[in-house]
Amino acid sequence: MKYCNKCLIPETAETNRYDESGKCSVCNQIEFKNKIDWDLRGVELNNIIKKHKNKFDYDCIVPFSGGKDSTFTLWYLITQKKLKVLAVRYDHNFLRPVLQKNVEKTLSTLGVDFINFKSNFKLVQKIMLESLIRRGDFCWHCHVGITAFPINTAIEKKIPLLFYGEPSAEYSSHYSYKFNEKLNVEKFERIVNLGIHAEDMIEMIKERYPNESFDTMDFKPYVFPSQREMNKSKIQAIYLGSFIPWDVKKQVDIIKKELDWKGDKVEGIPPEYDYEKIECIMQGARDYTKYLKRGFGRTVHLASIDLRNNRIDRNVAKNLVKKYDGKKPKTLDLLLKILNIRESDYLKIVKKHVVQPHKFQEINKRDTSNIFLKDLDFFENKFNKL
């Protein structure tokens, strides 16, 4: 496979392109980011805020998981911009205990009103299997839920301004830093929903489970509004990272200091990245699925960010990748139990979604660390009771 000569991202990464020098498009985007007039972008941000502040019940909505990006966004808008914020969360059923403690501390420290929607787990199980079979990704319900629910809440409560945190230009090339990224129907269909609308998923589930009683209302949290609805409600869903220089390490330092936000250990991720993807118990299984399909995992992604920012030596980065990527996670057994399939079935499904020129290969090397057992036991007991 071809790899970027600056970072470690291979050609199997979605949207990546390479210039004549062998540098990937994301690395070039970050170089452009470093040349942006951030003072001017800051003026744009202030103008947007001025149009919305004190005009509605809340100045804005922050889609809030409790992870590093949404926590920093919430902290920044409240403490630096003095906004009255409504935090809105789609709970995908896999939120970890440390994350939940972070959420409670953040909300109480900042004094934030909070809406949480917890999805129907029996339906989630079926959606997970369907999306794995059709797209090689069991996280459709999460991708779509965390995107659609806050937007629908904004329309319902007449709060037109929403702030997301990290723009996708930071790690992919669907969009670049040349323009201020925004969430609309085009982006939702291009990046988020894997090419499957909620209306499509309803019919897929009905076809696979003809004896189940799910109906259209059960899928309401996954229905993204039309662009006409968004325009009518004057929805402006933007990314804070389009207006301030996004630096995840500096931002994590801030929320750890100001909010007592705690990192956590995550399968397949080096301990020095204790801020990354701490939200979901299934992250290890998701990164493993990506590794089987594309030939790289989460550590490649993280080390590449540090390489672009000149924070790590390339050989050190390669050694981290060798040590942490490409191991079978403990949460794979939990995933198989939730989906009610065998590992051989899972591998057969994933093999159909391999991205060339990567070659599918079964992995026998297991994650033998004990860092994850407490949370794993917690979720196994939880799901065994359902």
- Give tens-digit pLDDT for 301-343: 999 999 999 999 999 999 999 999 999 999 999 999 999 999 9
Residue 43's CATH number: 3.40.50.620
Is the pTM for the entire model greater than 0.85? yes
What lies within 8 Å, CB to CB, of 305 at 6+ separation is 7, 170, 171, 248
Domain that holds residue 342: 264-384
- For residue 48, what are the contacts with CB-CB under 8 A and spacing of at least 6? 161, 236, 238
Q: Are residues 106 and 217 in the same domain?
A: yes
Which runs of consecutive H residues, i.e. helices, occur in 233-369?
248-259, 283-294, 298-308, 314-324, 331-339, 343-351
Do 228 and 273 reside in the same domain of the chain?
A: no
| Residue 274, helix vs strand vs coil | coil
* Structure confidence at residue 54 as a pLDDT band (50, 70, 90): very high
Q: Is residue 17 part of a domain?
A: no
Lowest mean pLDDT among 74-78, 102-106, 278-282, 376-380: 376-380
Q: Are residues 154 and 301 in the same domain?
A: no
Last residue of a domain, one of 176, 210, 242: 242
Q: Is the pLDDT of residue 377 over 90?
A: no
**pLDDT-derived band of residue 357, with 50, 70 and 90 as boundaries?**
very high
* Upper half-sphere CA count for residue 232 (Cβ side, 13 Å): 8
**Residue 385 pLDDT class (50, 70, 90 cuts):** low
Identify the CA nearest to 164 among candidates 252, 103, 76, 240: 240
pLDDT in tens, 166-218: 999 999 999 999 999 999 999 999 999 999 999 999 999 999 999 888 888 89
**What helix, strand, coil percent values describe the chain, rounded to 5?**
50, 10, 40
Of 240, 215, 268, whose CA–CA distance to 72 is shortest? 240
Count CB atoms within 10 A of the CB of residue 226. Answer: 10
Average pLDDT, the chain: 94
Going by DSSP bridges, is the β-strand pair 85-91/113-118 parallel, antiparallel, or unpaired? parallel
105 and 195 co-located in one domain: yes
CA distance 171 to 307: 12
Whole-number pLDDT of residue 196: 97
Are 65 and 137 within one domain? yes
